Amino acid sequence: MQDKYDIIVVGGGPAGSTAAKWAAMSGAAVALFEKDREIGIPVRCAEATAMDDLKKYVEVDESWFATIIDRVRFISPAGIPVEVNLPIEGVVLKRRILDNDLAIQAASEGAEVFTKAYVHSVEFNPGDYAKVKVKHIGEERIVKARIVIAADGVESRIARFAGIRTQYALKDVESCVQILAGNIQLPPNRIDIYISERWAPGGYVWVFPKSSCSANIGLGVIGNKIKTESPMQLLNKFLREIYPDVASIATVAGGVPVACSLKTIARDGLLIVGDAARQTNPVSGGGILAALHSGKLAGEVAGKAIHKNDPTISTLKEYQLAWDKTVGKEYRRFYRIKEWIQTLPDEYFDEMANLLTKLKPDEITLSKIFKLAVKNKPSLLFDVMRVFAGY
């Protein structure tokens, strides 16, 4: 580990590794610090994403894929199933392999990758190097950087060191828990989404196949709706009723932002990416594609700032502007849709399911489902139409 770098990235998830890769490609001296002993562990993700969108950011490797998805089945609170052909090709990933490979790509471009490197303090000095205090394999170090990229997850500490408020309102974060379930038989090409206040208040239960006999089963509960039962208790209740014979091979839990992006994601000497910047889809909670998008933007802009010898907001604001005009704009629409959907009672979803089952299977689309969900909120129809344009 050197005493000084142009850019230090804190966090080795998809956003951090992608930022490190693109920054290193510019010729900047880049270090990536990951607090865990191995990148990709533990996996805190349901692991589903869209294949075509993934290909926009990386050259995909088949070793990343557990199953290919072309159908989604929604199950209403009363147990009414509605099955839909996906307008895009989906995939359930092997995140451990994906994350590891993204870090290898960053290293291949010249980034220096350090695991068991816990950053416990950053002192930002406008116009000068930031001082990053890191404990690496038991040794305390102070490493300087002209730009720090915060990719350290929900409620980013690195952003807080710069004076940015990263705490969430309870209504904008989901408490999630998931098991890797064995002894289960599912169609490998279909994901299931259960909607019910009884199991996942304000959120949903997901069942994503990982193989012919295993699946990720989890749920998210919106923060202000957690009452007497914890998310783990709710998941156990769901499993007892729907999948009583599954074996729990592994369990993970964590918070998932379902908010608008942070208003400030760029400052002198600082860029914030991925979950740290609340860059997740507010409806689904999915964040892989947003992480790759923001990581690429941040890495490119940081590299340009180093090349210009100007790591101030005058150059770094390009990242904020680019995010706000692209995915950030789309996610603001999703946030408005999420806010409305969370007000709907279970009876509303049962009514929707009954109406949809009267249609021919090829007439049911994701766009139609969302338009039906907001039928009593005409002001949201434009948002839905823009979100699903082309689908």
* pLDDT tens track for 24-52: 999 999 999 999 999 988 777 889 999 98
- What is the C-alpha to C-alpha distance for residues 134 and 118, in angstroms, rounded to an integer? 5
pLDDT tens per residue, range 279-293: 999 998 999 999 999
Q: What's the CA gap between 292 and 297, in Å, rounded?
A: 9
- Is the pLDDT at 391 greater than 50? The verdict is no
Residue 390 in this model has a pLDDT that exceeds 50:
no
Residues 321-346 pLDDT 10s: 999 999 999 999 999 989 988 888 99
Percent of all residues in the chain with a pLDDT value above 90, rounded to a whole number: 79
- The answer to whether domain 4-44+96-168+259-325 has CATH 3.50.50.60 is yes
Arithmetic mean of pLDDT over the chain:
92
Domain ranges across the chain: 4-44+96-168+259-325, 74-89+177-257, 343-387
Q: In what order do the strands lie in the sheet with 48-50?
A: 48-50, 81-93, 65-75, 190-194, 205-211, 214-222, 173-182, 247-257
Q: Looking at residue 388, what is its pLDDT?
A: 57
Half-sphere exposure of 324 (CA within 13 A, CB side): 10
What tokens appear for 319 in the block? Answer: 């990242």
* CATH T-level assignment (fold) for domain 74-89+177-257: D-Amino Acid Oxidase; Chain A, domain 2 (3.30.9)
Quote the crossing angle between the two packed helices 95-108 and 14-25, to the nearest 10°. Answer: 20
Token match 């997850």: residue? 153
- pLDDT tens figures, 117-147: 999 999 999 889 999 999 999 999 999 999 9
Separation between Cα atoms, residue 336 and residue 329, nearest integer Å:
11
Q: Report d(CA 323, CA 320) in Å as an integer.
A: 5
The type of residue at 306 is I
Per-residue pLDDT band for 371 (boundaries 50, 70, 90) equals: confident
**Spatial distance between the Cα atoms of 208 and 240, rounded to a whole number of angstroms:** 18
**DSSP string over 24-71:** HHTT--EEEE-SSSSTT-S--S--EEEHHHHHTTS---GGGEEEEEEE
Residue 381: per-residue pLDDT = 65
Q: Best-predicted range by mean pLDDT among 44-53, 56-65, 352-361?
A: 56-65
Structure token digits, residue 107? 């290293």
pTM of the model: 0.93
Q: What is the mean pLDDT of residues 149-161?
A: 94
pLDDT of residue 174: 93
pLDDT of residue 384: 65
